[in-house]
Amino acid sequence: MGIVEKATEYHLGLLKAKLARYRAQLLEPASKSGPAGVGFDVQKSGDARVALIGFPSVGKSTLLSKATHTASETAAYEFTTLTAIPGVIEYQGARIQLLDLPGIVEGASQGRGRGRQVVATAKTADLILVMLDATKSEEQRRLLELELDAVGIRLNKRKPDVVFKRRTTGGLNTTVKLTKTDEKTIRTILASYKLHNCDVMIREDITTDEFIDVLIGTRKYIPCLYVYNKIDAISLEQVDKLARTENTVVISCEMDLNLDYLIDRIWDNLGLVKIYTKKRGARPDLSDPVCLRKGATIEDVCIGIHKSLAANFRYGLVWWGRSSKFSPHAQKVSLNHQVQDEDVVSIFTK
Ligand X SMILES: Nc1nc2c(ncn2[C@@H]2O[C@H](COP(=O)(O)OP(=O)(O)OP(=O)(O)O)[C@@H](O)[C@H]2O)c(=O)[nH]1
Binding site for K ion (CB under 5 A): 57, 75, 80
Q: Which of 10, 17, 53, 81 binds Mg ion (CB under 5 A)?
A: 81
Q: Which is nearer to K ion, 133 or 343 (CB)?
A: 133
Nearest to 185 by CA among 166, 175, 200: 200
Nearest to 284 by CA among 327, 319, 330: 319
Residue 109 binds which entry of Mg ion, ligand X, K ion, none, CB below 5-8 Å type-dependent: none
Q: Which helix (H) or strand (E) holds 273?
A: strand 272-277
Task: Please give the radius of gyration of the chain, using alpha carbons only, rounded to the nearest integer.
Answer: 24
Q: What is the DSSP letter of 252?
A: B
Q: Which of 49, 114, 123, 230 binds ligand X (CB under 6 A)?
A: 230
Amino acid at 45: S
CA distance 84 to 104: 12
Could you say whether residue 62 binds Mg ion (CB under 5 A)?
no
Half-sphere exposure of 204 (CA within 13 A, CB side): 11
Q: Which of 20, 52, 61, 317 binds Mg ion (CB under 5 A)?
A: 61
Nearest to 53 by CA among 24, 84, 9: 84
- DSSP-based three-state secondary structure for 60: helix
Could you say whether residue 57 binds ligand X (CB under 6 A)?
yes
Smallest separation, CB 175 to ligand X (Å): 46
Binding window for ligand X (CB under 6 A); candidates: 4-12, 154-162, 175-183, 251-259: 251-259
Smallest separation, CB 185 to K ion (Å): 46
Smallest separation, CB 62 to ligand X (Å): 4
Smallest separation, CB 244 to ligand X (Å): 20
CA distance 286 to 334: 23
Residue 229 binds which entry of ligand X, Mg ion, K ion, none, CB below 5-8 Å type-dependent: ligand X
Smallest separation, CB 144 to ligand X (Å): 12
Angular region, 96: left φ>0, alpha ψ -120 to 50, beta rest: beta
Could you say whether residue 68 binds ligand X (CB under 6 A)?
no
Could you say whether residue 84 binds ligand X (CB under 6 A)?
no
Asked whether the beta carbons of 303 and 347 are under 8 A apart, the reply is: no
- 154 to 193: interface string for ligand X, x by CB under 6 A: ----------------------------------------
Q: What is the DSSP letter of 108?
A: G
Smallest separation, CB 55 to ligand X (Å): 7
Q: Which is nearer to ligand X, 80 or 238 (CB)?
A: 80
Strand partners, 275: 290
Could you say whether residue 79 binds ligand X (CB under 6 A)?
yes
Q: Which is nearer to Mg ion, 131 or 225 (CB)?
A: 131
86: Cβ contacts below 8 Å, ≥ 6 apart = 42, 45, 70, 97, 98, 99, 100
Tell me whether strands 198-202 and 171-174 are parallel, antiparallel or unpaired.
parallel
Q: Given the rule CB under 5 A, which residues bind Mg ion?
A: 60-61, 80-81
Q: Given the rule CB under 6 A, which residues bind ligand X?
A: 54, 56-62, 74-76, 78-81, 102-103, 229-230, 232-233, 252-254
